[in-house]
A and B are shown apart, each in its own frame.
Chain A
Amino acid sequence: MKLHFLMLLSLSLFLGCELITPSPTEGKTHHLAIALSYVGTNIRSDDYLDGTLPDAIELEKAFDALFAGKEHTSTLMLQDGNDDLDDLLLPTKAHVIEKIESLSDAMDEQDILIISYSGHGMEDGSLVLYPPRNDGSIFSKSGSMYTDVLLTVEELYDALDSAKGSVLLLMDSCYSGNFVLESETSYSLIERNAYLQKIYDQYFTEGSYTRPVFVLAATTYDNTASETASHGHFTQALLEGLGWDEENQRQREVDQTISVDYLYQYVYYHQDIALNSVNSWEYQHPTITGGPLDLILR
């Protein structure tokens, strides 16, 4: 009797749960694209961004094509110089938080929420959004930046608190690596040396893994990100990795599972800027959330 029980237990273990558990019902996907050109604000015209709006628009098309035939919706929150504070899709801090909270609240367990951001980022990772003022001023007359334009890392994560499904942040901004929270169970080697002692210390620390908000960011926490005239370097490569043929405006065949790890690899090997260099403005290194799981998009 005991032997039969053990055999049954072994068999149930080694049959593999994926093979005997019914697949969950496919969830909905939603893409929220946030992008700012800063035209019409009082930042220096040299700091206007040309690639951000095309980033958001093309990403929306790419995800529409990627999730064609599935329950997919998208929202564009763009700032392009023709801005009206009454427009709920103008990316002010209040509008962005409200939108993210409402999308998070509406999620079921199998849903995926993708949030992309193309715009300026501060040294602590904060996103620079449109000011809640009709004159579009980001800087005060004394030259200091208004804090009501900044959406911090913590505030964005707080807005995602109620999300029951999977969340992916695609961040194309300076210092966007700040959104990649350090893993409790693995040790990042990006621009760090691997000390055996630290790797083993992490094994014995008390932190544990919880399914995270997945982040794919253009750069590390301490480096800038840059753009060409048409796109951010990161988003340009990301669009290609998603299989989006921008020139012909169609989805090309990608003969493998499109996951966050796959996209990271694609950007890593195909971005049109060096991964490492002496001067920070000459390179950017993409970053990704660590841990044991990879999020599958298609």
Chain B
Amino acid sequence: MGMPGLHGQPEPKGEEPWRALFEGRSSREILADLVDGDPLEISPRCAERLLTRCYLLDMERLYFRSVARVAYAGPSYRGAPEFTEFLRERIDASIDELLREDRAEERAGHPVLPGQDARYTFVSQVLGMEVGVTRRGVCHFNVLDERIRHAFFSLVVQAKRFRRYVAEGNGPPERVSDSLRIAFETLGAPYPKWLQHGDEP
């Protein structure tokens, strides 16, 4: 099936690739097809959106939520917006939804279990933090200004070289350092600081 290209490959002319997948089918049937080999390349699209929007989210969770959102919207899709845009909207909605869920879990005080979520493991390992306090830091990080998240994503998640990042036009070194410092402080903020903001530990 000729699906729209992820990285700018030409899209097949005169075809509506979604028809065969969506038309006359239930969300559950569509879902079963989508998770079988990822024919719409939703997984790499999710990675691309995460790198663009710079949120700390679990890729697997995002993939499944995005697939579910595409399957949910599939039966009523009639070709507008354009298919690639339709997929992007579903992934973005999934990102926003999962961020809300994280905040709700943090609010409810559910414990963070080791191995439960890849980004808590990642943050815990890279920043040397107890896994149990990572979610709170991640929730605060995910509402930071995009410039700060972008610096952290490039320099820590993607482990890009500091000088290269600066040379790519991301601001003077001092500003990049400041952004990174804020990101680290936010992720590892001490409990008393959270308490000052009205949070409970």
Q: Do A and B bind each other?
A: no
A interface list, Cβ under 8 A from B: none
